[in-house]
Amino acid sequence: KGAFGFSDKISLCEEEKNIMDLIQKIKHGLMLYELEQENIYLRDKIEKKYSFENIIGKSKSMQKVFELIKIVAGNNSNVLIDGESGTGKELVAKAIHYNSFRKDKPFVPINCTAIPEGLLESELFGHVKGAFTGAIKSKKGLFENADGGTLFLDEIGDMSIGLQGKLLRAIQDREIRPVGGLVTTKVDVRIITATNKNLFEEIEQKRFREDLYYRINVIQISLPSLNKRIEDIPLLVEHFLLKHNKQYGKTIKGISKEALSLLMMPIWKGNIRELENIIRSSIALSKTNYLTTHELRELGTRPAAVKRTAFFETLSSALMPFIKDSIEKKEKNIYEKIHAEVDKYIFDYVLSHTKENQSEAARILGINRLTLRKKLKY
Ligand SMILES: Nc1ncnc2c1ncn2[C@@H]1O[C@H](COP(=O)(O)OP(=O)(O)OP(=O)(O)O)[C@@H](O)[C@H]1O
Ligand SMILES: [Mg+2]
């Protein structure tokens, strides 16, 4: 009998079958291994190029931000940083200061929203004794405190129009006059401002001075929202794990794949600050060496998304012993059998919903009626 003879053909088929079996076994083995490992992982390691100071980011947009920081750190121009709340504006301001020639002089931050309008002027420029009720002694302002260094004016969009004029003068003339004072003092201060408002709109609405805008915005750094750089999340998670482990005396090593994909859904409102808070609380809650959706669920974060994942977790933990058992028993067609098992529940439910009407059930399920009938015979 030749190469194409009958018996040859049979042995080839058996061989094929053996190989297919082997592939199936390897596949299932791998799947089990993955499930059992709980997928603890941190895919990315923080490489030097993915961080600048404490700022993490491998996304193109953040790489661009790093480049800009390096450039402006080397010169003395005023910088406007814009971005949504929690995108790292203050972090960037500090990175600029601590990489500039001013690094040994003070970095002085002030939040323009947090300070009542009347007080902000004297906070910035100081006051002389008796300038207003309660001014029992003269006091230096933040401009003088920051002399030689950097003044970081956060939420500049909230500064009153009147004070904006005084700020403009201080920046232009490089001198300040304390509230109630007659004498001006020279100051050498770099101004970095931040805003989460659209200053163009504010200018249009006559709430922000255009001339001040061009003074403070010599260079603009725009920070993208976290939803626009989802690819940064694994690195950020790793960074925050390292950062906060110590704080809680924990040694959490990683995060489950499910939990990480949950965090990578583009639904962040509070940006990186919110992500950091979630990681911090998860660390505090965790009783094991890694974070899972369990901790996220405990936090009650984004219930819909978490609930869905909880379902898949339940499903996988229910299926796991079943698969394992089938493999150990050297059963054939494991894939078909498991599917048939799961299908049974789906079909039963939908059919009872349609009062056993198969066409209607098929329509709901989005499958062919004949396919449904065939599957029901299993
Ligand atoms: N790229 C980043 N890498 C690491 N940590 C970051 C990053 N961006 C922000 N953070 C962290 O997130 C938190 C919020 O950052 P920051 O205070 O700089 O934001 P912000 O833009 O000033 O927010 P807000 O508008 O609410 O004042 C900080 O704890 C900061 O350390
Ligand atoms: Mg801030």
Quick: pLDDT tens for 6-51. Answer: 444 445 577 777 777 777 777 666 655 554 444 555 655 667 778 8
Q: Is 109 in the pocket of ligand 1 (CB under 6 A)?
A: no
pLDDT of 168 reads 97
Provide the 10 A C-beta neighbour count for residue 337.
15
Average pLDDT, integer, range 215-238? 94
Percent of the chain with pLDDT over 90: 48
Q: Are strands 175-176 and 185-186 parallel, antiparallel or unpaired?
A: antiparallel
Percent of the chain with pLDDT over 70: 87
pLDDT of 308 reads 54
Distance 91 CA to ligand 1 centre (A): 6
Higher-confidence residue of 356 and 42: namely: 356
Contacts of 69 (CB under 8 A, 6+ apart): 52, 55, 92, 95, 96, 99, 221
Average pLDDT, integer, range 90-104? 96
Contacts of 285 (CB under 8 A, 6+ apart): 295, 298, 299
Average pLDDT, integer, range 316-341? 80
Q: Is 354 in the pocket of ligand 1 (CB under 6 A)?
A: no
Q: C-alpha distances in angstroms, 26 versus 20, 91, 171, 238?
A: 10, 48, 70, 31
Higher-confidence residue of 35 and 296: namely: 296
Q: Go through the domains of the chain in sequence order and give each one's CATH number.
A: 60-223 (3.40.50.300)
Quick: pLDDT tens for 105-128. Answer: 999 999 999 888 889 999 999 999
Higher-confidence residue of 257 and 6: namely: 257
Angle separating helix axes 233-245 and 271-285, nearest 10 degrees: 50
Nearest Cα residue to atom 23 of ligand 1: 86
pLDDT of 35 reads 45
pLDDT of 305 reads 47
Distance 337 CA to ligand 2 centre (A): 56
Ligand 1 pocket mutation pick from 84, 91, 197 by most atoms within 8 angstroms of CB: 91
Ligand 1 atom, smallest distance to 194 CA: 22
φ, ψ at 79 (rounded to 5°)? -125, 135
pLDDT at 267 over 80: no
pLDDT of 31 reads 54
Quick: pLDDT tens for 164-198. Answer: 999 999 999 999 999 999 999 999 999 999 999 99
The bound ligand whose nearest atom lies closest to the alpha carbon of 273 is 1
Average pLDDT, integer, range 352-375? 88
For every residue of 11-74, DSSP letters joined together read HHHHHHHHHHHHHHHHHHHHHHHHHHTTT-B------GGGEETTEE--SHHHHHHHHHHHHHHT
Under a CB-based contact definition with an 8 Å cutoff, are residues 61 and 228 in contact? yes
pLDDT at 229 over 90: yes
